[in-house]
Amino acid sequence: MLLYCADLLALFTSSLYLAAAFAALVGSWTCNRFGRRNTMLAGALFFLIGVALQTSAFQIGQLVVGRVILGVGVGLTCQVGALCMMWHNVNVLHACVQPCCTLILLHIPQHVELSTM
């Protein structure tokens, strides 16, 4: 009985990321061709199909296919979601930049050693 196989684990892990990267590249084209709303709905549909396949998986092949379909959904929704957030929440984005920069600048000196002085 095989309990651990590095190749299967790598295939399982990378299948989602590869599909998401490809779908993110195609996502901008689908946004221009079909619109943001339809692309987001298609991504959600791919996501649901991928989750259903993974949930009902009895073999590693079905699990990997579910991960690939899930990756397509993740890639499409990440591409469109970031675009929609940028268009609708520009003021929120601008309001968040200053506090984040301030927190980073306040946090960095606590971890920098000044032993060279």
pLDDT confidence of residue 3: 59
pTM of the model as a whole: 0.66
Question: Distance (Å, rounded) from C-alpha 32 to C-alpha 108?
Answer: 42
Tell me the pLDDT band of 11, cut-offs 50, 70 and 90. Answer: confident
Position 14 pLDDT exceeds 60: yes
- Percent above pLDDT 90 for the chain: 6
44 touches 77 (CB < 8 A) = yes
Map out the domains of the chain as residue ranges: 8-88
Segment 81-93 shows an average pLDDT of 60
Position 117 pLDDT exceeds 50: no
Segment 36-41 shows an average pLDDT of 86
Tell me the pLDDT band of 1, cut-offs 50, 70 and 90. Answer: very low
68 touches 19 (CB < 8 A) = yes
